[in-house]
Amino acid sequence: MPRFALLIEYDGGPFAGWQAQSDQPSVQGAIEAALARLDPGFAAGARIAAAGRTDAGVHATGQVAHADLARDWDPFRLSEALNWHLKPAPVAILAAARVGDEFHARFSARERRYSFRLIARRAPVTHERGRVWQVQNPLDAEAMRAGAAHLVGLHDFTTFRSTMCQSKSPVKTLDQIDIEALAIPQGWEYRFHLRARSFLHNQVRSIVGTLERVGAGSWPPERVAEALAARDRAACGPVCPPQGLYLTGVGYPEAPFP
């Protein structure tokens, strides 16, 4: 059966997360329902596999999944057909590519990239509602960068790990945290960009929530290092809400998309 990689964008707001669930809408379920209109295997219950399982309310601009199909589709026609059948769900197939049987969206991935958007202004957000986390007061970006520097590298991230995390080990290498501060009308937008081979459950949201405390002046930057060293979930700052989080890309040894 030919295998296809799918590059996927979605608004996570209407969904209970990526993973298919029997009683709630999911991104995986929406795509598999579209595939069931095109492929007998998916009509019989075949599944797709994704690079990462995003939580309820989390968005994606660069999620990757793979599907084994009965027919050897032209990749462009496959993406067009899927987008037709996905309507009106806020899910789009940006590209499809024929890949070898050795390709696996999750296990072949060498890095994952997330971004988090935080807006600081007094007036409520309107157009960005459900797509950013809003706080009222400006943050100190330099202090947040100083706090973030303590987290880059190989560490035990128990402090920044959900108690429901199923990863076998809390030890991960965080390759990059960049923080942008962008002036917007009557406020600021802060964008946190994180890159690692893999992440623990709620790791990004735990990190951003903690760094927001630093930016607000409630924590000194050094307290981030102390929280990390504590290896204790109770030492973490507040976990920020999901709506500002985006899975922006997945890296592979050989890029599946042109």
Q: Which of 23, 39, 55, 178 is catalytic?
A: 55
Find out whether 114 is annotated in a ligand binding site. yes
Q: Which amino acid is at 230?
A: A
Whether 39 is a known active-site residue: answer: no
Catalytic residues: 55
* Binding-site residue positions for substrate: 114
